[in-house]
Structure 1
Amino acid sequence: MPHVIVKLHSGRSEQQKNALAEAVTKAVTSTLKSGEESVSVAIEDVEPRDWAEQVYRPDILGKMQT
């Protein structure tokens, strides 16, 4: 049951975020040959000024092995 978290700079419309979540869901279900009901997608808005502290350091630098 994949759960995908997408973190992006704030300012995208709900329509854009919904379209992204749908595209991610389609990619996951197609790749893993699973049903849509088994995939969840979270979209997290991050202010650009907070990117380094909230995303880059913990999720990118801190998890280089993944």
Structure 2
Amino acid sequence: MPHIAVKMFPGRTEEQKQEFAAKVVEAAKTILGSSDASLSVSISEVEPAEWDARVYDPEIAANESMLYKRPGYGALAQS
């Protein structure tokens, strides 16, 4: 039952977001063995000026031990 929540800067087209979600679903089905019916994907746009407060600090840095891919920016890039 994965729900995949993606946060990104604004600027992608609806077509790009749809294509991304479709590819994430296909990867989850192939790699995790999930069914199409069990998957959901959401995409939230976050303004660059709000990124640290809304995403980086509370979701990335605060959950460092859960990261499977570290960001190449911010304090975690250097550790």
In 2, the alpha carbon distance for the partners of 1:26 and 1:34 equals 9
Give the percent of matched residue pairs that are identical in Structure 1 and Structure 2: 41
Query: Mind listing any 5+ residue stretches in structure 2 that lack a counterpart?
Result: 67-79
CA RMSD of aligned residues (A): 0.7
Q: TM-score, normalised by structure 1?
A: 0.94
Between 1 and 2, higher relative CO (CA 8 Å, sep ≥ 6) is seen in: 1
Q: How many residues are aligned here?
A: 66
Query: Mind listing any 5+ residue stretches in structure 1 that lack a counterpart?
Result: none
**Which residue is 2:57 aligned to?**
57
In 1, the alpha carbon distance for the partners of 2:43 and 2:34 equals 21
Query: Could you tell me which amino acid in structure 2 is paired with residue 41 of structure 1?
Result: V
**Which residue is 2:5 aligned to?**
5
In 2, the alpha carbon distance for the partners of 1:4 and 1:43 equals 9
Bigger Cα Rg: 2
In 2, the alpha carbon distance for the partners of 1:34 and 1:14 equals 25
